[in-house]
């Protein structure tokens, strides 16, 4: 396609109209130039291709397809290769169905357990989210099908999602919310980015130049298409100017006319429109010119793959007295509606019309087990049904072990609204309580998109978190419960003891049209660790049927510059009797005392497969970003000189080994010396200190004369208070030895030293 030539030949109207969709799922064709329309589809964990009636909320039917585990589950795999494989399968399905681009992955941070759409999102940690999103993008795009990473940016709740302003300071945005997108966009290069509905610091993201152009394109080098979320456009012309190329689903020509009008009256340069058209045409061409010649997809094979993926995702949270794996000779009660009709996906635009669903009852069928089923509750409504409970209690009584399949009903978490609390339905909590009265060997299997409170956590012997595990979740549950597969999922988020512990509590979902992210960078484990709070299950936690042992943590150097890289390695052994997979997590813990930092932050992870008795060495390479925080004074990542602990372990609360490394910054922070600069700045700097020696002497002298030193103020107190006092204090406390002129001389001399250093 000669894109430049085509643009030259297109009329203004044609160009404007290409910048919005023909309908819900198609771009527009440009007949005069032989440009075809292309089709997009939700996403993210399978195809929701609507061929009859369109909508963006999952109300109308879509084609029969395969529902893979949702991101809440796939994140728990901590496995890039696995997610890439899932991406390849989805990409292949898209090719077969003529879909140019799948609308996902969704990488928004799980800021609060209450966000209704958390099931579609990966994690509370931006590094984990961006790494796995990148893997999915690579997988899909390897089939020459595009992705649309979404929802850019800071869309972390459903409440008033089209109008609310997420009010976030720059450091937090960079370290948490932008970071979830950054790695995936820079490295995996999604064909498209979907901007979110909300406003960010007051401005609609769909017309926010700072994010859509300055950061996304100028800083991160993004070259693809930016499309709107469905209906996210506020002012179309402002959006186009800010970098929003494509409006979806379209506005029946209304906004196209706004664009042509703006070009005609000179308020929008035509070059801006041409730029958007060029990006859209490149996207169309990218798909059209590499379409698969013999597209085909095998539903059954993908169904099986969905089950295999889920097996790597489910997290064994608790296993007391080896209650799991189940003994195939035991009589087992399978209790709960989800044993027959599992909840395996969430509601809304990601809802897939599964061609088949395998429950755990289906999976166990015909395999010679003695299983008694009892429904236990009705998931349609949260009403206590005593008859269902008593039948379940009877089944549990007659069995050696009871497995309760519990979780959140569809109405409890969905796109479009947030959760009201973090509890399971009362009818399920009561069911678990009643079963526990007659059956001490009770295991709970959970189906949910984000954390739930567990009032029965100390009484049950086992807990398996399967999240929303896709349409073949039953096979995965069967294989995990009976020990055919060793659980290897790890929590991609903290499970707090109760909702009130969560850092966003007082600012979720905000008031009116503003939500202030007051907890700053202290999201998830960054907060719980800083506050040394007990949690139900920590970030990164997950058990196995075998035991792993760590040894030999090595770092390549003990002293580095922030421009160097550091090699870290550790040996991990499987010292149990069953093969399994361990996820080795690398955290960096800043020991510096400048800016407030989280206690530790995830900077690397590797999942390794280990046969019984096997040892492997796991290696990581980390660089500047692993040590840095975002310094708003220089608008850049900055590493404070000082010590950092390199921690390796199997969860954020189970650090096995740690090694101290000293990092020296090569960047010099600009400093403007004024009368408000503190003495501390001078006292900590040998060169500057000399300049204020007489000042310090005088300051100390004042204190000595006025009070009996030893009684009123110790040397430590004096030094501490001096360090935070501004230079101008010397006028008042210097007993007339200092005037403004002398102070100015000191300031000028100090500034000269600083400027010389800055070069």
Among 39, 93, 229, 310, which residue interacts with ligand BGC (rule: CB under 6 A)? 229
For residues 192 and 546, which CB has a smaller minimum distance to ligand BGC in the complex?
A: 192
C-alpha to C-alpha distance for 20 and 23, rounded to whole angstroms? 9
Concatenating the DSSP letter of every residue in 613-656 gives T-EEEEEEEE-HHHH-EEETTTTEEE--SEEEEEEEEEETTEEE
C-alpha to C-alpha distance for 636 and 542, rounded to whole angstroms? 36
Concatenating the DSSP letter of every residue in 575-587 gives -SSS-EEEEEEEE
Running DSSP on this structure, what letter comes out for residue 37?
P
Residues 662-691 within binding reach of ligand BGC (CB under 6 A): none
For residues 351 and 581, which CB has a smaller minimum distance to ligand BGC in the complex?
A: 351
**Nearby residues of 347 by Cβ (< 8 Å), 6 or more positions away:** 58, 410, 414, 415, 416
Q: How far is the CB of 278 from ligand BGC (least distance, A)?
A: 24
CB 280 within 8 A of CB 27: yes
3-state secondary structure 661-723: EEEECCCCCCCCCCCCCEHHHHHCCHHHHHHCHHHHHHHHHHHHHHCCHHHHCCHHHHHHHHH
Instruction: Say whether residue 102 binds ligand BGC (CB under 6 A).
Output: no
Instruction: Say whether residue 230 binds ligand BGC (CB under 6 A).
Output: yes
- Alpha helices by DSSP H, listed for 327-445, are 360-364, 386-397, 426-438
Q: How far is the CB of 131 from ligand BGC (least distance, A)?
A: 21
Q: How far is the CB of 118 from ligand BGC (least distance, A)?
A: 13
C-alpha to C-alpha distance for 469 and 423, rounded to whole angstroms? 20
For residues 79 and 229, which CB has a smaller minimum distance to ligand BGC in the complex?
A: 229
Q: Give the x-and-dash track for 306-345 against ligand BGC (CB under 6 A).
A: ----------------------------------------
CB 707 within 8 A of CB 722: no
Token representation of residue 81: 């290769």
C-alpha to C-alpha distance for 585 and 661, rounded to whole angstroms? 18
Q: How far is the CB of 32 from ligand BGC (least distance, A)?
A: 29
Kind of pairing, strands 580-590 and 601-610?
antiparallel
DSSP element (H, E) containing 94: helix 80-97
What radius of gyration, in Å, describes the C-alpha atoms of the chain?
A: 29
Q: How far is the CB of 39 from ligand BGC (least distance, A)?
A: 13
Q: How far is the CB of 58 from ligand BGC (least distance, A)?
A: 8
Q: Give the max Cα distance, the chain.
A: 96
Q: How far is the CB of 18 from ligand BGC (least distance, A)?
A: 19
Give SS3 for 267. Answer: coil
For residues 227 and 332, which CB has a smaller minimum distance to ligand BGC in the complex?
A: 227
Q: How far is the CB of 484 from ligand BGC (least distance, A)?
A: 36
C-alpha to C-alpha distance for 107 and 179, rounded to whole angstroms? 10
Q: How far is the CB of 455 from ligand BGC (least distance, A)?
A: 33
**Tokens 């190329």 belong to which residue?**
245
Residue closest to 314 by CA, chosen among 88, 492, 139: 492
Q: How far is the CB of 420 from ligand BGC (least distance, A)?
A: 21
**Nearby residues of 411 by Cβ (< 8 Å), 6 or more positions away:** none
For residues 155 and 358, which CB has a smaller minimum distance to ligand BGC in the complex?
A: 155
Token representation of residue 666: 């090569």
For residues 415 and 529, which CB has a smaller minimum distance to ligand BGC in the complex?
A: 415
**Total residues at interface with ligand BGC (CB under 6 A):** 7
What sign has the CA pseudo-torsion 119, 123, 128, 133? positive
**Nearby residues of 216 by Cβ (< 8 Å), 6 or more positions away:** 152, 185, 193, 222, 226, 243
Kind of pairing, strands 101-102 and 40-41?
parallel
**Nearby residues of 756 by Cβ (< 8 Å), 6 or more positions away:** none
Q: How far is the CB of 230 from ligand BGC (least distance, A)?
A: 4
For residues 255 and 349, which CB has a smaller minimum distance to ligand BGC in the complex?
A: 349
- Cis peptide before 756, with omega less than 30 degrees from 0? no
Active-site hit among 79, 229, 245, 302: 229
Residues 150-179 within binding reach of ligand BGC (CB under 6 A): 150
C-alpha of 726 from chain center = 41
For residues 44 and 243, which CB has a smaller minimum distance to ligand BGC in the complex?
A: 44
Instruction: Say whether residue 93 binds ligand BGC (CB under 6 A).
Output: no
Give SS3 for 572. Answer: strand
Instruction: Say whether residue 42 binds ligand BGC (CB under 6 A).
Output: yes
Q: Give the x-and-dash track for 188-227 against ligand BGC (CB under 6 A).
A: ----------------------------------------
Kind of pairing, strands 442-447 and 462-465?
parallel
Phi, psi of 30 (to 5 degrees): -120, 95
Task: Establish how many alpha carbons lie within 13 A of residue 528's alpha carbon, considering only the half-sphere containing its beta carbon.
Answer: 23
For residues 166 and 479, which CB has a smaller minimum distance to ligand BGC in the complex?
A: 166
Instruction: Say whether residue 349 binds ligand BGC (CB under 6 A).
Output: yes
Q: How far is the CB of 47 from ligand BGC (least distance, A)?
A: 12
For residues 154 and 566, which CB has a smaller minimum distance to ligand BGC in the complex?
A: 154
For residues 416 and 483, which CB has a smaller minimum distance to ligand BGC in the complex?
A: 416
At CA 737, angle to CA 733 and CA 739, rounded to 5?
85
CB 464 within 8 A of CB 486: no
Q: How far is the CB of 194 from ligand BGC (least distance, A)?
A: 7
Instruction: Say whether residue 351 binds ligand BGC (CB under 6 A).
Output: no
For residues 180 and 323, which CB has a smaller minimum distance to ligand BGC in the complex?
A: 180
Instruction: Say whether residue 493 binds ligand BGC (CB under 6 A).
Output: no
Q: Give the x-and-dash track for 257-296 against ligand BGC (CB under 6 A).
A: ----------------------------------------
Token representation of residue 362: 């289906």
For residues 229 and 562, which CB has a smaller minimum distance to ligand BGC in the complex?
A: 229
Instruction: Say whether residue 103 binds ligand BGC (CB under 6 A).
Output: yes
Instruction: Say whether residue 56 binds ligand BGC (CB under 6 A).
Output: yes
Residue 229 catalytic?
A: yes
Length of the chain: 759
3-state secondary structure 345-375: CCECCCCCEECCCCCHHHHHCCCCCEEEEEC
C-alpha to C-alpha distance for 306 and 86, rounded to whole angstroms? 8
Instruction: Say whether residue 26 binds ligand BGC (CB under 6 A).
Output: no
DSSP element (H, E) containing 447: strand 442-447
The residues annotated as belonging to the active site are: 229
What are the residues binding ligand BGC (CB under 6 A)?
A: 42, 56, 103, 150, 229-230, 349
């Amino acid at each position: 396609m000669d894109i430049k030539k085509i643009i030259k030949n297109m009329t203004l109207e044609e160009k404007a109209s290409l910048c919005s969709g023909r309908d819900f799922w198609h771009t527009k064709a440009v007949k005069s130039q032989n440009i075809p329309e292309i089709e997009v589809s939700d996403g993210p964990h399978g195809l929701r291709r609507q061929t009859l009636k369109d909508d963006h909320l999952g109300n109308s039917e879509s084609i029969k397809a395969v529902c893979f585990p949702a991101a809440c589950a796939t994140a728990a795999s901590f496995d890039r290769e696995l997610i890439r494989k899932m991406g390849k399968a989805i990409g292949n399905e898209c090719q077969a169905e003529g879909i140019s681009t799948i609308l996902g992955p969704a990488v928004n941070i799980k800021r609060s357990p209450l966000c209704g759409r958390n099931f579609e999102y990966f994690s509370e940690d931006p590094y984990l989210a961006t790494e796995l999103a990148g893997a999915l993008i690579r997988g899909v795009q390897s089939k020459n099908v595009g992705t649309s990473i979404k929802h850019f940016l800071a869309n972390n709740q459903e409440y008033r999602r089209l109008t609310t302003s997420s009010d976030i300071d720059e450091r937090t945005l960079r370290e948490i919310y932008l970071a979830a997108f950054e790695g995936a966009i820079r490295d995996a290069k999604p064909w498209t980015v979907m901007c979110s509905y909300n406003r960010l610091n007051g401005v609609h993201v769909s017309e926010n130049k700072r994010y859509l152009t300055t950061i996304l394109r100028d800083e991160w080098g993004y070259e693809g298409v930016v499309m709107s979320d469905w209906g996210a456009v506020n002012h179309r012309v402002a959006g186009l100017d800010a970098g929003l190329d494509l409006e979806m689903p379209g506005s029946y020509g209304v906004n196209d006319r706004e664009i042509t009008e703006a070009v005609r009256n000179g308020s929008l340069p035509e070059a801006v429109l041409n730029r958007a058209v060029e990006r859209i045409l490149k996207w169309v061409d990218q798909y059209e010119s590499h379409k698969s010649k013999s597209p085909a997809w095998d539903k059954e094979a993908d169904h099986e793959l969905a089950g295999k993926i889920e097996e790597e995702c489910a997290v064994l949270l608790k296993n007391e007295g080896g209650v799991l794996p189940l003994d195939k000779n035991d009589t087992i009660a399978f209790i709960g509606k989800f044993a027959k009709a599992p909840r395996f996906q969430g509601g809304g635009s990601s809802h897939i019309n599964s061609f088949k669903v395998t429950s755990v009852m289906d999976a166990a069928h015909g395999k010679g087990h003695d299983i008694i089923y009892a429904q236990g509750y009705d998931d349609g409504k949260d009403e206590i049904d005593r008859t269902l409970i008593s039948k379940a209690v009877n089944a549990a009584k007659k069995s050696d072990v009871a497995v309760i399949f519990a979780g959140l009903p569809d109405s409890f978490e969905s796109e479009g609204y947030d959760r009201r609390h973090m509890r399971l339905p009362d009818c399920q909590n009561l069911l678990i309580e009643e079963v526990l009265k007659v059956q001490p060997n009770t295991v709970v299997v959970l189906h949910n998109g984000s954390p739930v409170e567990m009032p029965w956590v100390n009484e049950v012997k086992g807990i398996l978190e399967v999240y929303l595990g896709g349409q073949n979740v039953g096979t995965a549950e069967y294989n995990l419960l009976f020990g055919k597969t060793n659980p290897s999922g790890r929590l991609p988020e903290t499970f707090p003891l109760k909702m009130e512990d969560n850092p966003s509590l007082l600012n979720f979902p905000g008031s009116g049209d503003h939500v202030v992210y007051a907890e700053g960078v202290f999201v998830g484990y960054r907060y719980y660790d800083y506050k040394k709070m007990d949690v139900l299950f920590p970030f990164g936690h997950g058990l196995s049927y075998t035991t792993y042992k760590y040894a030999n943590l090595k770092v390549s150097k003990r002293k580095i510059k922030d421009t160097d890289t550091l090699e870290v390695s550790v040996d991990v052994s499987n010292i149990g009797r069953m093969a399994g997979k361990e996820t080795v997590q690398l955290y960096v813990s800043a020991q510096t005392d400048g800016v407030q930092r989280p206690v530790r932050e995830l900077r690397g992870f590797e999942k390794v497969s280990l046969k019984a008795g096997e040892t492997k060495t796991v290696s990581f390479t980390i660089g500047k970003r692993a040590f840095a925080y975002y310094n708003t004074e220089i608008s850049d990542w900055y590493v404070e000189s000082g010590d950092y602990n390199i921690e390796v372990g199997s969860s954020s609360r189970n650090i096995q080994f740690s090694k101290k490394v000293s990092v020296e910054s090569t960047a010099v922070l600009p400093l403007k010396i004024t009368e408000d600069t503190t003495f501390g700045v001078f006292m900590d700097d040998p060169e500057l200190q000399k300049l204020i020696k007489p000042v310090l002497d005088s300051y100390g002298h004042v204190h000595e004369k006025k009070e009996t030193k030893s009684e009123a103020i110790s040397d430590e107190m004096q030094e501490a208070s001096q360090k935070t006092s501004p230079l101008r204090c010397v006028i008042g406390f210097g007993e007339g030895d200092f005037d403004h002129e002398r102070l100015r001389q000191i300031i000028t001399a100090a500034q000269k030293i600083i400027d010389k250093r800055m070069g």
